[in-house]
Amino acid sequence: MSIIYSIDLIGTFVFAISGVMTGISKKFDIFGTLVLGFVTAIGGGTLRDMLTGALPVAWIQDINYVILIIAALPMVYLFQKQILKLRKTMFLFDSIGIGLFTVLGVQKTLALGLSPIICILMGAIGAVFGGVLRDTLSNEVPLIFRKEIYATACLLGGTIFYFLLQLAIPIYVAQSISIFIVILIRILAVRNHWSLNFNK
């Protein structure tokens, strides 16, 4: 659980950076930028917890999340150029983030006794909804609605995670495999321009 918790915090931090970068590129002021960082980092988990009644939501009870999100603001501002060069690293971190949030979400909601399909759905919602809120607040059609396989990677990863949990393997192996699969699908999808369009 300690490793998971660490990577969870890293994921939160990376999503916060992505939100802050959007805020700066949209010329939001400092507060607006911070809000976008927040929303991107905690939006998904918050919706998941509100839907399942796991209230108060997790980040309200653990100050580390808030500290990391606030820390993302000076980080991005000071190292703007370097971070833009690190785009590929960012993309990898983002993929790690959604992979981890998927697994965490599935695990957390299974523990509430909800049915598997719902749990996989909650895993995907927790992973991607932060980005949906970020785009809605900055007045864009959420990218997730137009882009390469993104939430689909979470749904697949969550499904695999659920079936791995039925086998007699240690949980951290199931977690690692599932997170890896989400990341792999994401990388392959972007590299090969996979999409799920109806037309053409």
List residues near a second copy by CB under 8 A: 23-24, 26-33, 35-36, 46, 50-53, 55-57, 60-61, 63, 66, 77, 112, 114-115, 117-118, 121-122, 132, 136-142, 144-147, 149-152, 155, 195-199
CA gap 149, 194 in Å, rounded: 7
Judge whether 163 and 79 are in contact, CB under 8 Å. Answer: no
To which H or E segment does residue 121 belong?
helix 116-137
CB of 141 to a second copy, least distance (A): 5
**Of 86, 104, 64, 63, whose CA–CA distance to 17 is shortest?**
86
CB of 19 to a second copy, least distance (A): 12
CA gap 17, 21 in Å, rounded: 6
CB of 34 to a second copy, least distance (A): 9
| Terminal alpha carbon distance of the chain | 44
CB of 1 to a second copy, least distance (A): 22
